[in-house]
Amino acid sequence: MVRVTASCGLLLHSLLAGLGRRASGFAGKVVQIAREDPRRVAHSLKVGLALALVSVVYFVTPLFNGLGAGASTMWAVLTVVVVMEYTVGATLSKGLNRGFATLVAACFAVGAHMLAELAERISVQGEPISLTVFVFIIASAATFLRFIPEIKAKYDYGVTIFILTFGLVAVSSYRVEELIQLAHDRFYTIVVGVFICLLITVFLFPVWAGEGVHKLALGNLDKLAQFFEGMESECFGKNMVIDNFEKKDFLQEYKSVLNSKATEDSLCTFASWEPRHGKFRFRHPWSQYQKLGTLCRQCASSMEALASYVITTTKTQYPAAATPDLSCKVRKTCGEMSSHSAKALRQLVAATETMTVPPPANLTMSAAMKAAECLRSELAENAAMMQLMHVAVTASLLADLVAQVKDIAECVDALARHAHFKNPKDSRKDVAVDSRPRSGPLPDVVIQCAE
């Protein structure tokens, strides 16, 4: 008996200790998330405040009776739960979509009910049949609209609410006598919920999606700059360290740029709903940020290719740099391969254009293949030749990156024009200008390297 009691005590102690460790770990995670972004705490409190305010509709009898007692008043609470989002743009998007979709769906449902009543005079079962047909047609057409890219990007939630509201009101019209009163109560309760959400989101510690887009673009540009700085100091510098080269931080930072498209598109969509705030105008060119993001991701993709090549080649120790004679020899061989390959392709183009059988390409391609085999054999026998090819490939990949950086600079310059960025010469004392992306042409040295 004593042993059983001791075993039970040890088991209970271990369970309590495990629960304590899990609770402590969970509490630590909560504190960490709150410290990373205090705005998350503020958003949680704002949601609680919005629900508390909308609960007044239930607690105050005049408001409860004025907006329609019963299930209609619950739509205000449901609206707060589904509409209240983290950013102002997302809340505006959902709120306006929900309010407008509810109004349009209620009008459609009342019109369908009136037509169904006319059908009831013709046939005994005319009303339920007509309502069923209307629900089928309207729901099918509205669902198909969701496949249109422009509507799906900005109004998908509104179309969904339209289908839901129309179906509920249209079906309820067969059993409810005062349909217009039902639609009226439901619409106004939703308006109350949307108004409370917008009021709290805009005026109480607002989180703007436009600022999120701007900071995301700045972060992407900064990570690309870190890559170039790391390549300069760690790869091409005098104090190059080959050991654990793949673990360098600058070879990991740019990878997050490749996965930024979903966040960027979402923030740009929500930012287009926001009013003018801070340094962002009402019709700010958010699409230009998407173009800039596309160029940054293309540049990051090229960086990944260069990083993979550099990591692979740095694992092999190369001797001293190749001589100028070897450089001329490589250029001549590559020129022969390019010339013969171009001739073969031109023949294929001409034959395809005239829809004729192409001539035998054995003579043309055999010379190119012979030059390629000769180059491979020399690379295998000459270590200095291998060093030269390594530098040539690295320089070619780096030149492509520089050309892409030039495109990014032009995109930023276009963004500055469309968004009416301030001229630093006119506002040198303005601190906000320092956080904005610098636009303008690249230095002549960089452009010449790209060319």
Q: Where are the domains of the chain?
A: 28-203, 209-450
Q: Please, which residues have CB within 8 angstroms of residue 384's CB and are 6 or more apart in sequence? A: 319, 320, 321, 322, 323, 326
Burial 156-191 (b: 16+ CB within 10 A, else e): bbbbbbbbebbbbbbeebeeeeebeebbbbbbbbbb
Per-residue confidence (pLDDT) for residue 417, from 0 to 100: 82
By mean pLDDT, which of 31-35, 89-93, 264-268 is the weakest?
31-35
Per-residue confidence (pLDDT) for residue 177, from 0 to 100: 64
Per-residue confidence (pLDDT) for residue 143, from 0 to 100: 94
Q: Please, which residues have CB within 8 angstroms of residue 343's CB and are 6 or more apart in sequence? A: 364
Q: How far apart are CA 56 and CA 76, in angstroms?
A: 11
Q: Please, which residues have CB within 8 angstroms of residue 268's CB and are 6 or more apart in sequence? A: 209, 213, 286, 287, 289, 290
Per-residue confidence (pLDDT) for residue 419, from 0 to 100: 82
- How large is the average pLDDT for residues 20-36? 81
Q: How far apart are CA 76 and CA 67, in angstroms?
A: 10
- How large is the average pLDDT for residues 293-309? 87
- How large is the average pLDDT for residues 255-279? 88
Per-residue confidence (pLDDT) for residue 46, from 0 to 100: 92
**Position 433 pLDDT exceeds 50:** no
Per-residue confidence (pLDDT) for residue 354, from 0 to 100: 56
With a pLDDT cut of 90, the percent of the chain lying above it is 16
- How large is the average pLDDT for residues 53-63? 72
DSSP secondary structure of 126-182? HHHHHHHHHHHHHHHHHHHHTTSHHHHHHHHHHHHHHHHHHHHHHHHTTT-S-HHHH
**Position 404 pLDDT exceeds 60:** yes
Per-residue confidence (pLDDT) for residue 252, from 0 to 100: 79
Report angle CA 63, 68, 71 to the nearest 5 degrees. 115
Per-residue confidence (pLDDT) for residue 342, from 0 to 100: 72
Q: What is the mean pLDDT of the chain?
A: 76
Greater confidence, 319 or 56? 56
Q: How far apart are CA 145 and CA 111, in angstroms?
A: 21
Confidence of residue 87 (pLDDT cuts 50, 70, 90): very high
- How large is the average pLDDT for residues 122-150? 86
